[in-house]
Structure 1
Amino acid sequence: MSGQAILCAVLWAALAGCAAPSPGLGPDAARVPVDVTAAPWRSLGLVATAVGGRCTGVLVSPNTVLTAAHCLVDPRTNRAVAPRAVQFTLASPPGAVSPGGTPRQARATEALIGPGFSVAPGPRPDPSAPPDSDWAVLLLDTPLGAPGQVMSLEAGLLPPGTPLVFGGYQSDREGQMVADLNCAVSGYARDPAGRVMLHHSCAATTGASGGPLLARRPDGGWIVAGIGSLAEGGVTGGWAVPTASIARVVLSAHR
């Protein structure tokens, strides 16, 4: 698949909602409610913008969240909203009190968006944008969470067939985090410039964008393999930006 084809698929699904009523949910889709007080779901939260955007994000440091760039787009301007217009709320059961009074909500003060990410008026896909640019790192004004809630990023590309779990706050399950606990890496697509997208078999729909595709480490912990970007229309599965690609950009920015 060409880079242009991947990008168009990703952005059309994300911004136009796809042709199917429930993108990413085919007839074999299976999602279940998850315990947001347990790993790995306690590391996820809601990314909300002042213009009504609702997605999922994951803590990668006490004051840093990884999500999808398209989650920050203001449809009136086709540009990312100002960082202060983005709020992140850690997952918690209704009525729960934060352990030790730890804050569970913070605003972004800065945002690093995948190089070259853009949308065209409509908003609609920008065929000139890199296919793997649909990610954003948010710096929060307040550290969140407790020890053990920060997730690590996979530095390489996991082999096809690697088991995954994928969940988030999805539009058809208001206020409840649900996840596919039995999916996998399906494969990868690479464009002529060498940019890679991860294809997965996980069931998820609108709202899960920006959520982490998670794989088990040998020690039983969890690692982020990719960030959800596209929910395909009429079938179960979609595309994600591999965290290996994100890590390279972030490390280069701090050299």
Structure 2
Amino acid sequence: MKQVIRYPVVLAFLSLILLPTFAIAQSTGLARLSDRDDLLGWEAVGRLDIRGRGYCSGTLIAPDLVLTAAHCVYDKKTKILYDPKTLTFRAGLRDGTSIAERAVSQIAAAEQFVPGVPLNLDMVRHDVALLRLAEPIVSSDADPFILHSGQEVGGAVSVTSYGQGRSEALSRQRHCNILAAEEDLMAFDCDVTFGSSGAPVFAKVGSRGRIVSVISGAGSLDGRPVALGPSLPANVARLKLQLRNAPRPVPDQIKRLSVGDRNQSTGAKFIRN
């Protein structure tokens, strides 16, 4: 029977540092997905570029939805959400070429996540964001991953991410483990570094991985470096509702065509909002 590390134990012995100021370098068998064959099946994982502010990792969970960490979508200085127009998702980016590249039109971050406060367990549990793309990515280019819950402590997982020193291509760690899981918080012995924030943690279910968490932060458990992430189903369900209820962005110009228009042009009218 697998031993479950209860949340009070994690709370007592876990010291936390957010990923932008901390990295775990364990040399644990990371493989660079260098060519198209290596990338096959992982195209839905991409790099989320924040104009002039660096990048995070993200994953398609629907043709127009990207899953990442909440702390990736807040301006560190102002502590408010980035303008979606400053974000670009590059699916399967490899050495300057991506499978698909899309602008972001909407951002939804967990309401319980408070940007700018010192990292704590509550923030890790809600460090989740969803991005709506301006245009969907067809599944023939990048097949979205689905979510999974119920993984046990000791279970094997894998991580696919970008990071410092490996920002131009995905790196995949085929095997790491869940060290602790309680109260919507999970700890892993996975190899993560700067830029790995928002990276998907996969459990193998059937023939393809399913996402059990995203990388939020890093710290130490009993002196051992660990990566941390939230559980996803409830968080993502709330974020999808948040996106549905938010007003959709309207284009700067709307083209209207009418039959029999008297204008000597083609009949197209442009109305600026």
- The question of a shared fold, defined as TM-score above 0.5 by the shorter chain, is answered with yes
Counterpart CA distance in 2 for 1:112 and 1:49 is 16
Q: Work out whether residues 203 and 236 of structure 1, in 8 Å CA contact, stay in contact via their aligned partners in 2.
A: no
- Residue type matched to 2:118 in 1? P
Give the counterpart of 2:182 among 189, 192, 198: 189
Q: Work out whether residues 94 and 168 of structure 2, in 8 Å CA contact, stay in contact via their aligned partners in 1.
A: no
- Residue type matched to 1:169 in 2? Y
- Residue type matched to 1:203 in 2? D
- 1:208, CA displacement in angstroms? 1.1
Counterpart CA distance in 1 for 2:49 and 2:122 is 24
Counterpart CA distance in 1 for 2:137 and 2:129 is 18
Task: Count residues in correspondence.
Answer: 232
Q: Unmatched 5+ residue regions in structure 1? A: 99-103, 191-195
DSSP 3-state at the match of 1:205: coil
- 1:143, CA displacement in angstroms? 1.2
- Partner in structure 2 of residue 119 of structure 1: 115
DSSP 3-state at the match of 2:18: helix
Deviations 1:37-90 (A, max 9, x none): 435421100111124131000001111100001111212212221112111111
DSSP 3-state at the match of 2:78: coil
Counterpart CA distance in 2 for 1:69 and 1:97 is 24
Shift in CA distance, 97/32, structure 1 to aligned 2, threshold 3 Å: closer
Shift in CA distance, 14/133, structure 1 to aligned 2, threshold 3 Å: same
- 1:164, CA displacement in angstroms? 1.0
Shift in CA distance, 142/130, structure 1 to aligned 2, threshold 3 Å: same
- 1:31, CA displacement in angstroms? 1.4
Give the counterpart of 1:239 among 228, 232, 247: 228
Shift in CA distance, 128/162, structure 1 to aligned 2, threshold 3 Å: closer
Deviations 1:120-139 (A, max 9, x none): 3xxx4266964411111000
- Residue type matched to 1:34 in 2? L
- Which aligned pairs between 1:50-65 and structure 2 lie closer than 5 A? 50-65=51-66
Q: Work out whether residues 47 and 93 of structure 2, in 8 Å CA contact, stay in contact via their aligned partners in 1.
A: no
Shift in CA distance, 161/109, structure 1 to aligned 2, threshold 3 Å: same
Q: Work out whether residues 157 and 244 of structure 1, in 8 Å CA contact, stay in contact via their aligned partners in 2.
A: no
- Which aligned pairs between 1:198-217 and structure 2 lie closer than 5 A? 198-217=186-205
- Partner in structure 1 of residue 31 of structure 2: 32
Shift in CA distance, 180/90, structure 1 to aligned 2, threshold 3 Å: same
Counterpart CA distance in 2 for 1:79 and 1:129 is 19
Q: Work out whether residues 92 and 98 of structure 2, in 8 Å CA contact, stay in contact via their aligned partners in 1.
A: no
Counterpart CA distance in 2 for 1:216 and 1:115 is 30
DSSP 3-state at the match of 1:84: helix
- Partner in structure 2 of residue 69 of structure 1: 70
Shift in CA distance, 179/211, structure 1 to aligned 2, threshold 3 Å: same
- Residue type matched to 1:137 in 2? L
- Partner in structure 1 of residue 145 of structure 2: 151
Structure index of larger Rg: 2
Give the counterpart of 1:106 among 83, 102, 108: 102
Shift in CA distance, 203/40, structure 1 to aligned 2, threshold 3 Å: farther
Counterpart CA distance in 2 for 1:39 and 1:240 is 26
Q: Work out whether residues 160 and 170 of structure 2, in 8 Å CA contact, stay in contact via their aligned partners in 1.
A: yes
DSSP 3-state at the match of 1:150: coil
Shift in CA distance, 90/79, structure 1 to aligned 2, threshold 3 Å: same
Q: Unmatched 5+ residue regions in structure 2? A: 1-6, 246-273
Give the percent of matched residue pairs that are identical in Structure 1 and Structure 2. Answer: 18
> Does the alignment pair 1:139 with 2:132?
yes
- 1:245, CA displacement in angstroms? 3.2
What is the alpha-carbon root mean square deviation over aligned residues?
A: 3.0
> Does the alignment pair 1:249 with 2:242?
no
Counterpart CA distance in 2 for 1:230 and 1:151 is 22
DSSP 3-state at the match of 1:76: coil
Counterpart CA distance in 1 for 2:90 and 2:25 is 26
- 1:9, CA displacement in angstroms? 5.5
